[in-house]
Amino acid sequence: MIKSDIIQIEDLIEKNDLVVPSYQRSYDWKLSEIEEFWNDLEMHYNDKSKRKNNQSSDGTNLFLGTIILYKANDSVYEIVDGQQRITSIFILLIALRSKLSEWIEKKIEVQGYNFSKIRDKFSEYIAYTDSSTGMFESTKLKASKKIANTIEYMCHDNWDGNFLDEYNGINTKKETKIIKPIFEFLCKQLQGIEPKKFKYFMKAILHTKIIRIEINDMEEAFALFERTNARGKDLEVSDLLKNHLFMNWNKKSNLVLEEEWDEISSNSQNQLIRMLKYFYVSQNGYITKSKLYKGFKDLSKEKNVEKLLIDIKRFSEFFDVFMNCDKQKFLEYFLNITLKKNGTYCVDELQIHKIRKSIVGINFFRVTQCYPLIYSFINAFRSLNLSEDYDRKHKVLLNFFLLLENYHFINNFICDRVGNEIEKLYANTCKKFALAKDKKSFLSTYVELFSELKKKLAGREEFTERFTQLNYLDDNTSDFMYIFDKIENTNSKKDVSDAYEFFDIKNPTLRKRYNLEHWLPQNPSQSHNNEMSFVIHNIGNLLVIPSRTNIKLGNKLPKEKFDFLSNDEFYSMPHIKEFFLKYEKNFDNWNKEVIEQRAEELAINSYNRVWNFYVPSY
């Protein structure tokens, strides 16, 4: 049964207990939302004040939209939709109580007002007190879990306005970060309310109208919430899915759905909608955002909601490991994948290090479309027990990640092509990996994928033209650190601990150990002509050297640098050694033509060898 009516906020908060159920997302209003709410409220406050002075006004009340409530019992309502607005109103009521306390303490008196009694009334809106002791008993709003403790101690009648780091033995620092800016903003705005006009502000709040939809059946409440929100913001897809899981959850399950969902959300790196879409694509192929929720509902029918939740959580763990790229967690993740039944591993630590470096590179390019593909590939590798039959010579795992990195470096990072050109190919390949029944079908899908990518790969001429235009700017140092790190370490067989490493977006300390060096200095003793100024920052004039060495070089010219550095330890670095051997004869006359020649040779070497896109045949 559904009942709807139009009521005032005062009726809602005075007569009912309001509960934000556990399946709802946390309170997440930011200052932009609360400012908009305040502006609407202030307009209606001014309107009521003007009417008192017989100025023109339409006399309307503020309208806050529709609130959906599930009637749990005679006086307790669960907020199915509208908790952001209701929670914000409660924070405002607490701020108003603080303002009233301030006036009382300052002994501000206005004819026709009893601020002590008004404050008592606001306290009744906010919380219950024990009738025999007058002490705080409970809040009238049971807020969402992630702010519940902070809202509770704010509701105490003797709260002094200070936020705690801990309440009832629970750390509340994160809650304070959410609530404190909202509360302080409202308190600041209330400074502009004149005591003698306070009743107009009270009416503006308490007479604010809502459409209350009251539902007695929880299943109907969920269904109405879906219909109300299904065409809303992307953020609501996760809410709808969460609600669907709760509605169909087996109460006898050993899993605590709320705890599992919190962990999934935490693993999503604040990209929950994207992560959920990638999970779905990894299992079922391409889908648009508009159809994502329906896809999940269909998926929950094929499996069951508990199995679906377990699968989503497993994907979220993968997502967290790959987004963070923490060395130890990455190592543990891949060792788990590649463990054989006899206790050995099908890849070594050096190969896992190289796989991680490829993911670091892909993340640096800001390419995430390949995440569902990677997960589907890993899942198939694991479920088919391919680690038991792994041929180290062919390096299936390592080559998969290297080829993805190389493709996206060439097409997206250098040639600046749009990333979604391969979205459907990746999605369709996900489904093929998911359906692979044996090693043969797995490797067939593998080869087919990279054969298709080869067709889409930018040609050497296009790559060379774009690569040779790379120029150093103050904010793109990382671009060159990545490029020279890759050049330095391609085909390197050094142990991880012995390799030269210039670039890792998760290890900013590397930037302190190495610098970009302009071989022809930026500020030589004699000024550059216009021609040389144009190429001074070109990649053909750049190297990576240890910071301590960079300091010693100052503004020496190329031949002086070579003489100075011939015995330096960094001479053993492969890309430096190769540079010296190839260009030593040019150091006396390091000019525009030589710089452009080196840039072109770097480009050709990069395309043919460093980021080589060789499609394996298995």
What is the per-residue pLDDT across 86-108, written as a single tens digit (0 to 9) for each?
A: 999 999 999 999 999 999 999 99
Q: H/E/C letters for each residue in 371-412?
A: HHHHHHHHHHHHHCCHHHHCCCCCCHHHHHHHHHHHHHHHHH
Neighbouring C-alpha atoms within 13 Å toward the C-beta of 117: 5
Distance (Å, whole) CA 29 – CA 41: 16
In the prediction, which pLDDT does 528 show? 57
φ and ψ at 36, to 5 degrees?
-65, -45
Distance (Å, whole) CA 316 – CA 268: 6
Residue with tokens 């062919």: 394
- The rounded mean pLDDT for the chain is 86
Distance (Å, whole) CA 544 – CA 602: 14
CA gyration radius, the chain? 32
Cβ proximity of 201 and 44 under 8 Å: no
Residue 392's pLDDT band, with cuts at 50, 70 and 90, is low
Among 42-51, 105-114, 284-293, 420-429, the least confident range: 42-51
Distance (Å, whole) CA 48 – CA 194: 14
In the prediction, which pLDDT does 390 show? 80
User: Which alpha helices (DSSP H) does 156-268 contain, by range?
Assistant: 173-190, 198-206, 218-229, 235-247, 257-267
Beta-strand relationship, 76-81 and 17-19: parallel
Q: Which of 323-337, 545-559, 596-610 has the highest mean pLDDT?
A: 596-610
In the prediction, which pLDDT does 204 show? 86
Q: H/E/C letters for each residue in 191-217?
A: CCCCHHHHHHHHHHHHCCEEEEEEECC
Based on the number of CB atoms within 10 Å of its own CB, is 392 exposed (0-12), middle (13-18) or buried (19 or more)?
Answer: exposed
Distance (Å, whole) CA 538 – CA 44: 61
Cβ proximity of 445 and 426 under 8 Å: no
Reported pTM:
0.72
Amino acid at 476: N
Residue 229's pLDDT band, with cuts at 50, 70 and 90, is low
pLDDT tens, position by position, 30-45: 888 899 889 888 887 7
Longest dimension (CA), the chain: 97
pLDDT tens, position by position, 475-521: 788 899 999 999 988 865 555 444 567 777 667 667 678 889 999 99
Burial letters 256-266, b for 16+ CB under 10 A, else e: ebeebbeebbe
Cβ proximity of 550 and 515 under 8 Å: yes
In the prediction, which pLDDT does 527 show? 52
